[in-house]
Structure 1
């Protein structure tokens, strides 16, 4: 069914401050405000009729801020991420009203293919980034897209929105600081409607302070604006001046916009926390009727009445169109869209052409240098990776050779920096982020697992981003520098992972992960960084690192492991072959996600016995998934119960004697395998 043609006044989605002396500009602002208000009200009606599921949030009372701000934005180059109060912003930025209604109806033509609800959608190709419900986590994505646009030579501005409640979250403070450090042109807007769901501002921050005053702590300008006055000329002029200053100076600004929340937090909110008379006082401040009355007083009654009538008729026609769109069908695309399609190989130069003897760390450095040299889309970020060269000296010399724009030493803000990298990746760059220790990536779990990992599924956008995670124990570093986190991350869909065990595989892993269009975790065991030098050369089959590698051949059992555990595993295999005359097919898994187990399954069909070894803890460890995958098809052909060997179920202890008791060792492997053989 064709979309109804919008009223002519809605064909204009832009505004220049110099136009504000003309009635046409003011009527344009009014038209979009009226559409946003009536649209929000009708969506609430449709929810109460049971035609919209989940729940709905409304922006009633927010229109006097969001409408002029987004009309003033340059939709051709700027970036934005709206919140659930910004329906009007969505309508102006892009797409037809029917497409936005389809999102609410979660029908077959929903922009998110009905995979996300309400206003959890965007238009990534036009730099409108979809939100998630974790408040504050989208700000840093806007930083990344805006930075990417500036790197592409476009004078873009980023627009981010969060409420008075969200202003308490760490992600917002990290993003404010990062934008200031990077000198990014970001307009941060606090939508202060005085309540975080039911919690008043008096319980959110210290009385007598203003939220915009926090800007001074980050070295940026801040101010407040009261959008409840209905004086749209003054409001628009103030916002226009701020946007122009940010665009010109490339410095961020923090605006505290005092708005109204006229309908409670969401449809189910009873507002029984409000004191008697408070809601009436809020409704009395509504800027929309004030603005309408001013237009009428200025002699525009006929124009305003026509806008009201045209928008009402068009809105109802659009609702009917969206109501008749079929319901979504669960098909093969649901699983297929978890990952972005395979990317074409990058035409790497065959370097190093001659074999070099490198440590594991040097192999990674060589690969990173290759990436930076051969692909201008690449950049590396992380803590202490600049002059110092990283905690393990893996990035040593890269800052000197490629400069701060390509090798960026980040503040201690893992979540915001990861979100910044996600934004860069969405907009055409290909970042590599080093976490100083894998343990510190837990500070960015939301960004990695709920943002980066789900982006393609819910928006169709690829996120080509590599996370480097120095992990593992054996170096007497204790619980907060020794974790194995593959089970934590890979329980969430949308992430790929490689765990190399040799310098050649580490070199190949960087190239294979870098050219993938999905977020990829590379686990780098710290105990391998300087464990001798081994040959590294250009390998045209570098993508084979995603597949298991057969390290030893045997007949008695199939032995699967990865990472540093390949070393004691190989030693144990040699022992059993010489002492017990029992040989094993020993596989280095390498690619942890997606799992490619065909070669291992073929081995298991022949040996009928399975050993799985990993350094992570046993309970909920990655070995449990391997055993399940490998035995569910071959259970009745097994001649012994699978043997699963892992670390003890405890935090990683510090003292070397205690850590030795915690981790698998050659001696423990021999003891457990011998008992298993019986």
Structure 2
């Protein structure tokens, strides 16, 4: 291995030596602790330390770096306190996740580190968002994100690279090519020879380095960072390296040919750099002993402090509270009393525009939303008002754009992401349920992202543009879900969702866009999240519903003479207003839960179960449900009408009333 110390002082070389020795010595200690049962799992980076150490020392301390589970050198290089690092590995409260996650699945804004989730690829889009925020702030900063050769097979890899290329984002994508995805060799992962071959296809500069040569990695990344700070553009850095231990310790390395292990052992990044410095007269046995003793003392001190801490004492209240970033909503009333007749679609547009005016750090993103104004024309004219930086057309890549929204939030922005149709959110599902929903619970980072979801049937759009998929997310702790039924709530709740620094899914029924209108305040205002409203007040039964169901319920009750109903418009699905439902059931003693979604596993099932459990003694009849058929949404109008619950609702209500 050839090192080139040109441009480095002896002091800088010694610093880099200590930097690469620290993760190696910690790993050696962790492997002992693993065998002793004092930590539960370990993902070793032995053999790959030069990549992490070279990278973290090549970029500025205030530039974000997004590591993976073999990048211990990033954490030690950013001076993360060993006590907290070891407490994290042991699941202690003083770790970065309060015992809720393990190893390197955490971030720390104080050290400008954003950790991974087990799905590997999604963090690349977060790097896009962080870099995008730096561009918006006109800060000349680089962002560096790690991924591996195995993770490159995921769609998130392609999406993140493509977005970065199209938007000229200053991101260094470091691909640690160690030849294996767990036990699967590269030839079973992809057919190209090197990752630098991908650069021209994306229109991205691509550079390859010897990932075991610390000085080459450091010098190359330092140069690339300086370059993209001046001329923001993404770059691929392929680091050829090898891990000398298993994917994680339980895996072993029996699947690796012995001759391959032997050849890479000769390229050990720590041993080779040490030998080079000794040969250059920069490092002596005494200096090595002194550095090792210092590192060992740091490790033992950190371990002693971590060991002294007890395991977390479980508190249900704390666990539930930490789902969300602390926020207490204050209702904003309109300053003026003026009202204007607005369609549902106009109300959403008004709310979005007024929120953009209120928050100069708010960015909206989505397919065709800029000059075209979106397929429903909600953002028409917005680029004239706010410019294309803040009203951003995106490639067709739902996962990357939701992840970019989270990255924007990490770096000080608010984001609204439009799914062109709610159905398309499947392509971004992982980012929502595993990143947006869990990030605050895991390490205290809020997700200030609203995902707009044009939803619902009744417009003859068929199986892929008509689904009601709110129940998919209703089961995910850490999300807030809003589903308005009228123009006034659509505007007020959208403004409220944007104001709240927590993740929202905001459902907008397409059939209401231009069929429903209402006089609403022209000023900015917010509606209360988590509070139901009464669409109708009665005494004989309760109908619990939301969205289009509110309108169906009102129309159905007009057909039944001499009977009145409380029609509860939930408005918010997470959290839903249990108090309002209980109060109404106790008054009327009969209840039907109605929604457009299919019956089995729908939100109505949870509400019905809750009523049966908490209001049983007040019921004079079984809790009834009405919903759409348990089939996909058909295209043809007669089939779609049969699918929806509207025609069956009247008979179900009459049966309940007569029970």
TM over 0.5: yes
> Could you say if the C-alpha distance between residues 515 and 45 of structure 1 is closer, same or farther in structure 2, counting changes exceeding 3 Å?
same
Number of the residue aligned with 1:114: 99
Structure 2 equivalent of residue 143 of structure 1: 128
Name the structure 2 match of 1:431: 415
Corresponding residue for 2:52? 66
Aligned length: 652
Counterpart of 2:13 (choices 18, 26, 42) is 26
Query: Where does 1:3-82 land on structure 2 (aligned, <5 Å)?
Result: 20-53=7-40, 55-76=41-62, 78-82=63-67
Aligned to 1:95: 80
| Greater alpha carbon shift after TM alignment, 293-302 vs 253-262 | 293-302
**Structure 2 residue aligned with 1:648, among 626, 629, 632?**
629
| Match status 1:326 vs 2:310 | yes
Shift, 1:673, TM fit: 1.6
3-state DSSP of counterpart to 2:69? coil
Q: Aligned partners of 1:235 and 1:553: how far apart in 2?
A: 70
**How far apart in 1 are the matches of 2:150 and 2:196?**
14
The Cα of 1:21 is off from its aligned counterpart by 2.8
Are 2:153 and 1:168 equivalent residues in the alignment? yes
Paired residues of 1:260 and 1:286 also in contact (CA < 8 A) = no
Deviation at 1:346, TM superposition (A): 8.9
1:587 aligns to what? Answer: 568
Q: Structure 1 pair 662/81, CA: closer, same or farther in 2 (3 Å)?
A: same
Alignment counterpart, residue 253 of structure 2, candidates 253, 268, 271: 271
Name the stretch that deviates more: 306-315 or 634-643: 306-315
- In the other structure, the counterpart of 1:460 is 444
Question: Following TM superposition, by how much is the alpha carbon of 1:50 offset from its aligned partner in structure 2, in angstroms?
Answer: 0.5
SS in structure 1 at match of 2:508: strand
Counterpart in the other structure of 1:158: 143
Deviations 1:270-310 (A, max 9, x none): 22212233322222221211111111122221322311222
Cα shift at 1:641: 0.4
Query: Structure 1 residues 254 and 627 mapped into 2: Cα distance closer, same or farther (>3 Å)?
Result: same
Give, in whole Å, the separation in 2 of the partners of 1:145 and 1:104.
Answer: 27
Whether the 8 Å CA contact 2:245–2:252 is kept in 1: the answer is: no
359 and 541 in structure 1: CA distance in 2 versus 1, 3 angstrom threshold: closer
Does the 8 A contact of 1:295 with 1:304 survive in 2?
Answer: no
1:141-167 CA distance string (max 9 Å, x none): 111122213323321111111111011
Instruction: Quote the offset at 1:67 in angstroms.
Output: 0.6
**Counterpart-to-counterpart distance in 1, 2:279 and 2:525:** 75
Which residue does the alignment assign to 2:189? 204
Distance 1:57 1:530 in 2: 54
1:523 aligns with 2:507: yes
Change (3 A) 1:406 1:348: farther
Q: Counterparts of 2:423 and 2:200 in 1: how far apart (Å)?
A: 32
CA distance in 1, matches of 2:633, 2:20: 57
> Does the aligned pair in 2 maintain the 1:136–1:166 contact within 8 Å?
yes
Would you say the 8 A contact 1:555–1:585 is kept in 2? yes
Deviation per CA, 1:68-125: give whole Å up to 9, x if none. 211121112x112110010010111242122111110111211110111011112034
TM-score by length of 2: 0.96
Could you say which residue in structure 2 is the equivalent of 1:7?
A: none
Aligned to 1:86: 71
Q: Report the Cα offset of residue 354 of structure 1.
A: 1.7
After superposing the two structures, state which structure 1 stretch, 491-500 or 317-326, moved more.
Answer: 317-326
Alignment of 1:358 with 2:342, yes or no, is yes
CA drift of 1:326 comes to 1.4
Equivalent of residue 620 in structure 2, options 622, 639, 657: 639
C-alpha contact 2:125 2:400 (8 A) present in aligned 1: yes
Provide the residue aligned with 1:537 in structure 2. Answer: 521
Structure 1 residues 402 and 594, CA gap change in structure 2 (3 angstroms): same
Give the secondary structure class of the aligned counterpart of 2:173. Answer: strand
Q: Is the 8 A contact 1:438 1:469 kept in 2?
A: yes
Q: 1:226 to 1:541 in 2, by over 3 A?
A: closer
1:126 deviates by 3.8
Whole-Å separation in 2 of the counterparts to 1:346 and 1:150: 33
- The CA distance in 2 between the partners of 1:18 and 1:288, in whole Å, is 16
Q: Is the 8 A contact 2:100 2:442 kept in 1?
A: yes
TM-score (norm. length: structure 1): 0.93
Q: Which residue of 2 aligns with 1:285?
A: 267
SS in 2 for 1:592: strand
Corresponding position of 1:493: 477
Q: Distance in 2 between matches of 1:21 and 1:481?
A: 59
Residue 644 (structure 2) aligns with: 663
Q: Which residue of 2 aligns with 1:551?
A: 535
Matched-pair contact (CA < 8 Å) for 1:343–1:515 = no
Instruction: Give the aligned partner of residue 602 of structure 1.
Output: 583
Distance 2:524 2:573 in 1: 21
Name 1:3's counterpart in structure 2.
none
* Alpha-carbon distance change, 89 to 464 in structure 1, aligned in 2, over 3 angstroms: same
With 113-122 and 532-541 compared, the bigger mean Cα shift is at 532-541
Q: 1:308 aligns with which of 286, 292, 296?
A: 292
Aligned to 1:9: none
**Deviation per CA, 1:547-572, whole angstroms, max 9, x where unpaired?**
11111111111111110111110011
Aligned residue number for residue 118 of structure 2: 133
Kindly report which structure 2 residues correspond to 1:194-233, keeping only aligned pairs within 5 A, or say none: 194-206=179-191, 209-228=193-212, 230=213, 232-233=214-215
Equivalent-residue separation in structure 1 for 2:616 and 2:465 (angstroms) = 38
2:494 maps to 1:510: yes
Report the Cα offset of residue 544 of structure 1: 2.5
Structure 2 stretches lacking a partner, 5+ long: none
Distance 1:551 1:346 in 2: 20
Contact residue 129 and residue 404 of structure 2 kept, 8 A: yes
- What SS does the corresponding residue of 1:268 show, helix, strand or coil? helix
Quote the Cα distance in structure 1 between the aligned partners of 2:537 and 2:79: 59
Equivalent position SS for 1:614: strand
CA contact (8 A) 1:296 1:304 kept: no
> 1:378-400 CA deviation, whole Å, 9 max, x = no partner?
11110011111111111111122
Structure 2 residue matching 1:187: 3-state secondary structure: strand
What RMSD over aligned residues (CA atoms) do the two structures have, in Å? 1.8
Secondary structure, in 3 states, of the residue corresponding to 1:159?
A: strand
Q: State the 1:348 CA deviation.
A: 8.3
Maintained 8 Å contact 1:556/1:609: yes
1:677 aligns with 2:657: yes
Contact (CA 8 Å) 2:418, 2:453: kept in 1 or not?
Answer: yes
Quick one: distance in 1 between partners of 2:571 and 2:71? 45
Question: Take 2:347 and 2:423, find their aligned partners in 1: how far apart are those partners?
Answer: 23
